[in-house]
Amino acid sequence: MAIEVAGIFKERKYPFIFAFFLLLIFVTFLLISNSQPPISITTQLTQPDPLSSTPPPVSSASRHSSILSNNESAITNPPVSSSSNDGSPSASTRSVAGTDNGERVEIGAAAADEEDDQVVWELCKGPMAVDYIPCLDNMNAIKKLRSRRHMEHRERHCPDPNPRCLVPLPDGYKVPVPWPKSRDMIWYSNVPHPKLVEYKKDQRWVVKQDDYFIFPGGGTQFKNGVNHYIDSIEKTLPVIGWGKKTRVILDVGCGVASFGGSLLDRNVITMSFAPKDEHEAQIQFALERGIPATLSVIGTQKLTFPDNAYDLIHCARCRVHWDADGGKPLMELNRILRPGGYFIWSATPVYRDDDRDKNVWKSMVALTESMCWSVVAKTYFDSSQIGLVIYQKPVSSTCYQNRKKSEPPLCDQASRRNISWYAPLDSCLVPLPGDSPKWPSSWPERLGDKPRSLSAEVDAEETFKGDTTHWSALVSEVYLGGLGINWSSVRNVMDMNAGYGGFAAALINQPLWVMNVVPIHEPDTLPVIFDRGLIGIYHDWCESLNTYPRTYDLLHASSLFKNLTKRCDLIEVAAEMDRILRPGGYLVVQDTIEIITELKPVLKSLHWLINVHQDQFLVGKKDFWRPDAKIRV
């Protein structure tokens, strides 16, 4: 029998009335919630207001005043492939939520809330997903290349659009072995690539032992061990002065970077580089060991270093044909080698007498003489049965002008770009200063002395010294003790907007190393960084970096994102930072509260632990979370 509403009130059945209204409210809420449209995966990010900023203590403008600027009109990115890498792209979108006020904000990784429910992540797919490097693994673009003769397939071919997926972890991935133990051994499960063990077993590059890879210090030319080889070089040419005169080195075709790793004990910082090739994961081994390294190749484009940067360049059987294409590969070394710097070439043409090696040596003699390089030492080591030659670059252009034949010609400086980003190799020699350039001070004095390449503007030196003082105080008072970072777990550091290298200089006494990145749309300070005895590269953060996943313990970004978000998609930048950073690693952002507000929900969607300090420092800590499939978090 139906119950009349009037009867309910007459009989004063108030509990029933109360329950009925609660049920009605609950059903209405469910209907409203279910009526929301599905989340789009193509929404573009909201750009920050370029006029709103509360600058941190050092703004982008003050950090870089009186610095030589890049010629931005000359910077052009290369054409990108319209087809992205097989199985790599993913999607994500977000809505920007407000930030909490107060001195410190803590948001746990497990506490994803309604603020983040508009971000979607998915795993990268495909056979290369675990070690995915977007700009080097774009197989669709590589297959379309007309030639591979000059290593074009090892150069950058970035997908368009950039990937928004997260790289999966290798099975059994562990927190890396800490430094300095990592120099000699790493977890097999973190870099599970045993090919080099078998391929180089007679040379003892790397050995598998239980759950570890062991690095005995062997190498193709290191038959008595890498330390014996390094000692032999200094005995051959004592003026090299490891760790005093010679501080910054480039190791071409570095293998697993045992040469650079051993030189760290002698206060030498070595940029080890090699292409991603059939020598499986050699650069990944180096970075997992905690040794500075990057993926690169001498092909058709310049290396991402400034002119006159390195004190010494080393090649031990590096398999580069220096005389190829009219000698362009060796002219590229000449470009980046400091006037008066040394090139050490340890290879069979130096000491073998078969016809092939004789022909290579003959070509090398002709090329180096035309470049005015002088042979300062040539030797053969009976104990190891290897030999090497040491060349020295001239300190002025006088020799160039006195050559009987101007081949190769001198470069026209008026038409040369200031930086080497996607620039073709030169077929000319970079002119040297009219007066003999002064070699930098001995290490460690050169770290604080006025850099040779500093701008000639009146206040440039004062600005440089002020920047050094600022970072020294800030790192000491805030970074090392006030941001909750466990520095004992930090070895590989990247400064994403390095300026003069002040952040790296302030950390010089810590057991870590810093890759200083100078973005191509910021003032060109990379020559200053090398003059100080530090290392770095040019890069555009709208693209992926040439490094393996999970290779850095800490990423630092000061005053980077305001300009970056005008050109780049912040979601894509976040995916790239997640790719580079190891689980347990840190991101430290010093910026305005508006930028921090923009970043917070993106990083929270990655399940990072987020702390905000003093409304200008954001510290994100990555954990081991990975999406199993497309997940709304």
pLDDT 10s digits, 456-495: 889 999 999 999 999 999 999 999 999 999 999 999 999 9
Confidence of residue 388 (pLDDT cuts 50, 70, 90): very high
Segment 115-119 shows an average pLDDT of 57
Reported confidence tier of residue 56, pLDDT bands at 50, 70, 90: very low
| Statement: residue 36 has pLDDT above 50 | no
Mean pLDDT across the stretch 378-382? 95
> What is the average pLDDT across 106-117?
42
Give the model's confidence band at 60: pLDDT under 50 very low, under 70 low, under 90 confident, else very high: very low
The pLDDT score that the predictor gives to residue 21 is: 66
In 301-429, which ranges are E strands?
A: 310-316, 337-346, 374-381, 386-392
DSSP state of 242: B
SS3 sequence, 387-403?
EEEEEECCCCCHHHHHC
Of 37-41, 284-288, 368-372, 559-563, the poorest mean pLDDT is in 37-41
Rounded distance, CA 466 to CA 449, Å?
13
Of 372, 394, 415, the residue that ends a domain is 415
Q: What is the pTM of this model?
A: 0.83
- Same structural domain for residues 404 and 495? no
Average pLDDT over residues 394-405: 92
Q: Express each pLDDT in 410-419 by its tens digit.
A: 999 887 777 8
In eight-state DSSP terms, residue 590 is: E
One domain, residues 522 and 604:
yes
What mean pLDDT is predicted for residues 505-527? 97
Q: What pLDDT does 299 receive?
A: 94
pLDDT higher than threshold 50 for residue 108: no
What is the SS3 assignment for 483?
Answer: coil
**What pLDDT was estimated at residue 76?**
39
Task: Please determine, for residue 292, whether its predicted confidence score (pLDDT) is greater than 90.
Answer: yes
Tell me: pLDDT of 262 over 90. Answer: yes
Total count of domains within the chain: 2
Instruction: Report residue 181 as tokens.
Output: 């133990």
For the chain, the average pLDDT equals: 84
Biggest distance spanned by C-alpha atoms of the chain: 118
**Is 484 part of a structural domain of the chain?**
yes
Tell me whether residue 405 is in a domain. Answer: yes
Is 90 exceeded by the pLDDT of residue 70? no
Co-location of 369 and 510 in the same domain? no
376 shares a domain with 277: yes
Please report the pLDDT score of residue 435 as a whole number: 66
- For residue 85, pLDDT beyond 50: no
Specify the range with the lowest mean pLDDT, choosing from 76-80, 215-219, 241-245. 76-80
Q: Which conformational region is residue 336 in: left (phi greater than 0), alpha (psi within -120 to 50 degrees), or beta?
A: alpha
Q: In whole angstroms, how large is the CA radius of gyration of the chain?
A: 28
Higher per-residue confidence, 46 vs 285: 285
CA separation for the pair 503, 482 (Å, rounded): 16
Confidence grade of residue 24 (pLDDT, cut at 50, 70, 90) = low
Q: Are 554 and 491 in contact (CB under 8 A)?
A: no
Q: Kindly report the backbone phi and psi dihedral angles of residue 343, in degrees, each rounded to the nearest multiple of 5, phi listed first.
A: -120, 120
Cβ count within 10 A of residue 620 = 26
Residues 271 and 353 grouped into a single domain: yes
**What percentage of residues in the chain have a pLDDT greater than 70?**
79
Average pLDDT over residues 133-146: 95
Residue from 287, 340, 285, 350 nearest 313 by CA: 340
Q: Is 296 among the domain residues?
A: no
Q: How far apart are CA 447 and CA 505, in angstroms?
A: 7
Least reliable range by pLDDT among 233-247, 266-280, 533-547: 266-280
pLDDT of amino acid 104: 37
| Burial call 399-434: b when 16+ CB within 10 Å, e when fewer | ebeeeeeeebeebeeeebebbbbbbebbebbbebee
Q: Which residues, other chains included, contact 351 with Cβ-Cβ below 8 Å and sequence gap of 6+?
A: 380, 386, 387
pLDDT at residue number 17? 59
Q: How much is the pLDDT for 34?
A: 46
Establish if 178 belongs to a structural domain: no
Q: pLDDT at residue 529 above 50?
A: yes
What pLDDT does residue 188 have? 97
Same domain? 365 vs 474: no
| Whether residue 374 is found in the same domain as residue 471 | no
Q: Is 12 left (phi over 0), alpha (psi -120 to 50) or beta?
A: left
Instruction: Decide if 373 contacts 392 (C-beta within 8 A).
Output: yes
Determine the average pLDDT of the residues in 369-373.
Answer: 97
pLDDT computed for residue 64 by the predictor = 42
Query: Strands (DSSP E) along 18-152, which ranges?
Result: 104-107, 120-121
- Provide the pLDDT for residue 81: 42
Residue 500 lies in a domain: yes
Percent of the chain with pLDDT over 90: 69
Q: What is the pLDDT of residue 349?
A: 95
Q: Are residues 362 and 500 part of one domain?
A: no
| Structural element, H or E, at residue 287 | helix 282-289
Q: What's residue 101's pLDDT? A: 33
Give the number of other CB atoms < 10 A from CB of residue 503: 24
Q: Which CATH number is 530's domain given?
A: 3.40.50.150
Question: What pLDDT is stored for residue 279 in this prediction?
Answer: 64
Peptide bond into 408 cis (omega under 30): yes
Contacts of residue 575, Cβ cutoff 8 Å, sequence gap at least 6: 90, 92, 162, 163, 164, 165, 166
Q: Is residue 614 part of a domain?
A: yes
Given this model, what pLDDT does residue 29 score?
56
Asked if residue 65 has pLDDT above 60, the reply is no
- Residue 344 is predicted with a pLDDT of 98
> Up-side HSE of residue 42: CA atoms within 13 Å toward CB?
0
Burial of 256 (0-12, 13-18, 19+ CB in 10 A): buried
- Residue 594 maps to a domain: yes
Q: Which two tokens stand for residue 6?
A: 């009037």
Q: Tens digits of per-residue pLDDT, 588-632?
A: 999 999 999 999 999 999 999 999 999 999 999 999 999 985 433
Q: How many angstroms separate the Cα of 65 from the Cα of each of 69, 118, 446, 450, 472?
A: 9, 40, 21, 16, 19
Q: How confident is the model at residue 113 (pLDDT cuts 50, 70, 90)?
A: very low
Return the half-sphere exposure (C-beta side, CA atoms, 13 A cut-off) of residue 511: 13
pLDDT value, residue 414: 80
What integer is the mean pLDDT of 207-215? Answer: 94
Residues 324 and 473 in one domain: no
Band (23; pLDDT cuts 50, 70, 90): low
- Amino acid (1-letter code) at residue 601: P
Same domain, 510 and 392: no
Backbone angles phi, psi at 68, to 5 degrees: -60, 130
- When pLDDT is averaged across residues 400-413 and rounded to a whole number, the result is 92
**Contact assessment for residue 259 and residue 325, using Cβ atoms and an 8 Å cutoff:** no
The H or E element spanning position 364 is helix 355-370
CA angle 381, 385, 388 (to 5 degrees): 55
- Output b/e per residue, 81-118; b: 16+ Cβ within 10 A: beebbbbbbbbbbbebeebeeeeebebebeebeebbeb
Q: Please indicate, yes or no, whether residues 242 and 344 belong to a single structural domain of this protein.
A: yes
Residue indicated by tokens 């495909």: 126
For residue 633, give both structure tokens.
């978090």
Same domain flag for 344 and 384:
yes
Residue 192 domain flag = no
Q: Domain range for residue 321? A: 220-289+307-415
pLDDT at 309 > cutoff 60:
yes
Identify whether the C-beta of residue 304 lies closer than 8 Å to the C-beta of residue 536.
no
Task: Name the DSSP class of 524.
Answer: -
Per-residue pLDDT, averaged over 196-208, amounts to: 79
- SS3 sequence of 124-183: CCCCCHHHCCCCCCCHHHHHCCCCCCCCHHHCCCCECCCCCCECCCCCCCCCCCCCCHHH
- The Cα–Cα gap between 101 and 619 comes to 16
pLDDT attached to residue 623: 95
| Residue with more model confidence, 379 or 48 | 379
411-451, pLDDT tens digit by residue?
A: 998 877 778 999 999 999 999 876 667 899 999 999 999 99
Which segment of 46-50, 556-560, 577-581 scores lowest on mean pLDDT?
46-50
Residue 184 has pLDDT above 50, yes or no: yes
Q: Which of 468, 499, 481, 463 is nearest to 617 (CA)?
A: 481
